[in-house]
Amino acid sequence: MFDLDQFIAECEEAVKETDSHMAVKELVGRAISNPDDVLKGLGEPSEAGVNKLFVSDNLTILNLVWGPMMTLKPHDHKMWAVIGIYTGREDNIFWRKIKDDSQNRIEAAGAEAIGAGDVAPLGKDIVHSVTNPIPRLTGALHVYGGDFFGPGRSEWDAETLTEQPYDMEGNIQLFADSNARLTPA
């Protein structure tokens, strides 16, 4: 079964390595190679949320649960990340930064769909948007090479694709809004 304390300890050691990003990718890959073990270890997701499992200056581990049909607009992390899906599916659109009339805009550059048992490493300069395209919760281990909740990140307006400061509270509210839609009136 998935042992969260052991996973955290192994990730703390891995971030000390020269190629910490790939070392963590190996750990996440091993952890979610049997998604049912992670489900048993963390529990079946019951609501959308950004669940903090571990946060330090050089490492953040989240049990991120996407609500049904939930979408998060384009954003960056300013640090590497590794995503491992243990239930459901996550679709990522990757964006390329462009200069347009002195505005920092983006344009679509690629996409990847990942499902239970899949691992996706993201470089520190990646801009991506995320959608849970299925009508049930999607659960994933998200591991970041830094403090995910620290300042300095950006997001891009979904309509104009122009850069703006990352709105942590607004994005967390998206998960609460998703949960409100899950709850019968």
Tell me the residue type at 92.
N
Cβ neighbors of 94 (< 8 A, separation 6 or more) are 108, 109, 110, 111, 112, 126, 127, 128
Residue spans of the chain under pLDDT 50? none
Bridge partner list, 66: 138
User: In the prediction, which pLDDT does 102 show?
Assistant: 67
* CATH label of the domain that carries residue 87: 2.60.120.10
User: In the prediction, which pLDDT does 182 show?
Assistant: 84
Element (H, E) at 25: helix 20-31
User: In the prediction, which pLDDT does 91 show?
Assistant: 98
Domain count, the chain: 1
Whether the model pTM is above 0.85: yes
User: CA dist 34 to 108, 118, 177, Å?
Assistant: 32, 10, 31
Q: Supply the range of the domain harboring residue 33.
A: 4-182
User: In the prediction, which pLDDT does 101 show?
Assistant: 65
Alpha-carbon distance of 106 to 126, in angstroms, equals 11
